[in-house]
């Protein structure tokens, strides 16, 4: 009988995060999800394989509490998805340092806190593990009119850290990868023009949440892939269109 594996998912209450929770549960995983307001959510069917904890990923105590709950309830941390993210667009000269601190707290600090706890636990277990980070194709290919320079400092940093960590922990069989989306049909874009969103990729399409989720699942289960940045962006990283 195989031992059920456990995944920790940040930013789990809506959009890509909620899709990840449902799909990992459907595939038989134990899931520990966190976001600022997840405790009272009714978007998930209750399950003895699901734990939900409210918290800010930028607070180091959140990562500690979530990791401890995973260990106490399910006995392991086998995978982590760093999905929580903040995206603020402004012309560069209008960004404030407060904007940057907010971006960094969620996109970088949260990544560091959760990844450290996950890797420490994976090393204790001596059975390897998977970490998948959610970045963006804008780090590879800026789009005229989408002014996101300070946000890209944080997301581009995640791409670089993904490759460095993949190398650092390769001998421990801890794999570190990233999924790099373009425009995804999430609540963040519910008030945006669909025609405008379609113009932001050469294929002229909008990615569904499930397509991003499928990319994460693939990397989580692909035992021989590490250090990969998987673009699920309708070709937006390729260049001018």
The string of pLDDT tens digits covering residues 110-156 is 999 999 999 999 999 999 999 999 999 999 999 998 999 999 999 99
The top-level CATH class assigned to 6-238 is alpha beta
Q: What is the pLDDT of residue 239?
A: 87
Q: What is the pLDDT of residue 38?
A: 86
Q: Write down the domain spans for the chain.
A: 6-238
Mean pLDDT, residues 10-16 taken together:
94
pLDDT at 192 over 90: no
pLDDT tens string 50-64: 999 999 999 999 999
Distance CA 58, CA 44 (A): 24
Higher confidence at residue 45 or residue 12? 12
Tell me what the mean pLDDT of segment 151-175 comes to. Answer: 98
Among residues 31, 29, 19, 105, the alpha carbon closest in space to that of 62 is found at 105
Alpha-carbon torsion 226, 56, 84, 28, what sign? positive
pLDDT of residue 237: 93
Across residues 66-70, what is the average pLDDT? 98
More confident: 106 or 45: 106
Residue 45 has pLDDT above 80, yes or no: yes
Residue 21 pLDDT > 80, yes or no?
yes
Structure tokens at 203: 């294929």
Q: Would you say the C-alpha torsion 218, 136, 190, 99 has a positive or negative sign?
A: positive
Report the share of the chain in percent with pLDDT over 90: 86
Sheet bearing 30-35, strands edge to edge? 50-54, 30-35, 6-10, 79-82, 129-134, 174-181, 229-232
What is residue 1's predicted lDDT score, i.e. its pLDDT?
44
pTM of the full structure = 0.95
Segment (H or E) for 98 = helix 97-104
């Amino acid at each position: 009988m195989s031992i059920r594996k456990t995944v920790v998912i940040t930013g789990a209450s809506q959009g890509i995060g909620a899709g990840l929770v449902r799909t990992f549960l459907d595939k038989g995983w134990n899931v520990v999800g966190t976001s600022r307001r997840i405790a009272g959510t009714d978007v998930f069917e209750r399950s003895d394989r699901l734990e939900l904890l409210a918290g800010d990923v930028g607070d180091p105590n959140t990562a500690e509490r979530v990791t401890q709950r995973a260990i106490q309830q399910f006995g392991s941390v086998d995978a982590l998805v760093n999905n929580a993210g903040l995206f603020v667009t402004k012309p560069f000269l209008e960004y404030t340092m407060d904007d940057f601190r907010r971006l960094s707290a969620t996109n970088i600090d949260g990544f560091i806190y959760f990844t450290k706890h996950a890797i420490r636990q994976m090393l204790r277990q001596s059975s390897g593990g998977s970490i998948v980070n959610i970045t963006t194709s804008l780090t590879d290919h800026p789009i005229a009119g989408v002014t996101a320079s300070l946000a890209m400092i944080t997301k581009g940093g995640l791409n670089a850290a993904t490759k460095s960590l993949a190398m650092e922990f390769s001998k421990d069989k801890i794999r570190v990868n990233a999924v790099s989306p373009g425009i995804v049909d999430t609540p963040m874009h519910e008030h945006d023009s669909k025609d405008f969103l379609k113009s932001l990729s050469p294929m002229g399409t909008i990615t569904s949440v499930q397509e991003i989720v499928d990319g994460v699942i693939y990397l989580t289960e692909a035992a021989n892939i590490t250090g990969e940045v998987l673009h699920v962006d309708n070709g937006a990283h390729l260049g001018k269109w």
